[in-house]
Amino acid sequence: MRPPLADVLGLEPHPEGGWYRQTWASPVEVTLPDGRVRPTATLIHFLLPAGESSAWHRVASDEIWLAHTGAVTLELGGTDVRPGEPTAEVCDAAHPQVLVPAGVWQRTVPSAADALVSCLVSPGFDFADFELASG
């Protein structure tokens, strides 16, 4: 079911779970070591409704999670081929910024209330740099 805040903010379903919309991309570009070009940074809104979680995934860029409302608990599972034993980081009013380094497996776990965060990704996000854990 589509959450009302997803309508208000124009959010779409994210492949990892939750709802998102890119809100900004830097007009400045960077060339990656493999020759691909990305914005230096991108920013999204990410809504995780109460009781929902995201799948294990990783991104080839650093991510900074920024809290707006509610709390998101991020489990970080290392950089091996598959997610490993997780550590937890909470992104909320008391801890309004959480860094997920490039290439680190991550997922969110359910909470009792809706959470709205933003994710700043640098170099900028591209689905070509996004990997969902298999099985």
**pLDDT score recorded for residue 69:** 96
Q: What angle do CA 109, 77, 125 make, to 5 degrees?
A: 80
Residue 94 pLDDT greater than 80, yes or no: yes
**pLDDT score recorded for residue 28:** 98
pLDDT in tens, 65-77: 999 999 999 999 9
Can you tell me the distance from the alpha carbon of 46 to that of 68, in angstroms, rounded to the nearest whole number? 10
**Which pLDDT band, with edges at 50, 70 and 90, does 1 fall under?**
confident
Q: What is the overall mean pLDDT for the chain?
A: 96
**Which pLDDT band, with edges at 50, 70 and 90, does 88 fall under?**
very high
Model confidence, pTM: 0.94
Mean pLDDT of 39-59: 97
Q: How far is CA 2 from CA 5, 42, 68, 74, in A?
A: 8, 24, 20, 23
Instruction: Give domain limits for the chain.
Output: 4-132
Query: CATH: 3.40.50.150, 2.60.120.10, 2.60.120.560, 3.40.50.1370. Which one for 4-132?
Result: 2.60.120.10
**pLDDT score recorded for residue 86:** 97
